[in-house]
Amino acid sequence: MTEIATTPETQHRTSNRVQLALVGILLIGLVIAPFTLYPVFLMKVLCFALFASAFNLLLGFTGLLSFGHAAFFGGAAYFTAYAVKEWNFPPEAGILLGVVGASLMGLVIGFFAIRRQGIYFAMITLALSQMFFFFCLQAEFTRGEDGLQGVPRGHLLGFIDLSDPLNMYFFVLVVFIAGVFAVWRIVNSPFGMILRSIRENEDRAISLGYSVNLYKLAAFVMSAGLAGLAGGLKALVFQFATLTDVAWQMSGEVILMTLLGGIGTIFGPIFGGAFIVTVQNYLSTTGFPVTVLTGLIFIVCVLLFRRGVVGEFNASRLAKKLGLRSRS
């Protein structure tokens, strides 16, 4: 009976049921959460979880380490905040403008960065991101070090008042689910399979006739656009956009979130983003330096969880399945 229960087909169906059950529990928890926890904190978690998922699309599934994703996150925050505050755009139009702006920035930065590999790719993204940071510091529309303050949330579709915390939360939740679903759909499409092949063996992908640079650029633009979606949401949630959003430290944070949760997984960046934001929120009321703890977390992750928390969990499940299959 045990051997029959552990056939590959049965294991696959069981794995799918477990994943669907976990997704269902997560969604139910997210719907109930704002009635028991502070909605603004939950919205921050969702924004950064989406940001980490966008970054993971590039690092985890394409194998490209960007040190400049803060430019897309913070740039979209500025674009959205300015459009909503100064041009009286509705919130959905402001976020759309932020996504388009971040995608165009991704097209420009990616065009130059994909011509190099490894550390050179990372340094180019960092350098161009820092150029954008200094532009935001000097530009008039960003208000320099003061940033854009008092950004109105407005009315979604003209009648849903987003100044109500619950309305804003469920709007962010819907966008978050759509963004994570977009990442899942991309990586499980034929396009996503080509990205994985590039990550595993770029030379072989070239030999098979794929235009590797074009696929890299497409992945870079998609990742930038989704990061911009998170940045635009963040600007409306907190009603401001500042230099912190485009600083290199923001790029470091999203790298940590992704590595902690597990690169190349769907739920890893979500877990990593939620964990880091929760730690930061808790320590903000204490005198303990947040950067010290995040550094320690990174060291522990590298030494003990090389695949990240979710990555290690998935690896242990896979090892268990292979063990059961070999015994059967």
pLDDT in tens, 173-184: 999 999 999 999
Which pLDDT belongs to residue 15? 52
Write the CB contacts of 159 (distance below 8 Å, at least 6 apart in sequence).
none
CA–CA dist 308, 312 (Å, integer):
6
In a domain, 293, yes or no: no
Cα dihedral sign, 251-310-266-61: positive
DSSP per-residue string spanning 204-233: HHHHTT--HHHHHHHHHHHHHHHHHHHHHH
Contact present, 105 and 129 (Cβ < 8 Å)? no
Mean pLDDT of 5-19: 53
Amino acid letter, residue 103: S
Element (H, E) at 161: strand 160-161
Q: Phi and psi (nearest 5°) for 138?
A: -100, -25
CA-based max dimension of the chain? 72
**Confidence class for position 12, pLDDT limits 50, 70, 90:** very low
Map tokens 């060291």 to a residue. Answer: 299
Number of neighbours of residue 107 by Cβ within 10 angstroms: 15
Mean pLDDT of 305-309: 75
pLDDT at residue 5 greater than cutoff 70 = no
**Confidence class for position 321, pLDDT limits 50, 70, 90:** low
Which pLDDT belongs to residue 267? 86
Map tokens 């579709």 to a residue. Answer: 157
Mean pLDDT of the chain: 85
Number of domains in the chain: 1
CA distances to 30, 135, 218, 221, 237 from 234, in Å = 18, 21, 24, 20, 5
pTM value is 0.89
**Token pair for 31:** 């719907």
CA–CA dist 255, 258 (Å, integer):
5
Lowest mean pLDDT among 8-22, 135-149, 283-297: 8-22
Which pLDDT belongs to residue 133? 93
**Confidence class for position 1, pLDDT limits 50, 70, 90:** very low
* Percent of all residues in the chain with a pLDDT value above 90, rounded to a whole number: 44
Which pLDDT belongs to residue 50? 94
Map tokens 């960007």 to a residue. Answer: 66
In a domain, 27, yes or no: no
Which pLDDT belongs to residue 14? 54
Which pLDDT belongs to residue 3? 43
Which pLDDT belongs to residue 320? 66
Element (H, E) at 62: helix 39-62
Mean pLDDT of 108-114: 93
**Token pair for 81:** 């905040």
Q: Give me the domain span that covers residue 180.
A: 38-247
Q: Phi and psi (nearest 5°) for 160?
A: -95, 110
In a domain, 188, yes or no: yes
Mean pLDDT of 154-183: 90
In a domain, 46, yes or no: yes
CA–CA dist 134, 125 (Å, integer):
14
226-279 confidence digits (pLDDT tens): 999 999 999 999 999 999 999 988 998 899 899 888 888 888 899 889 988 988
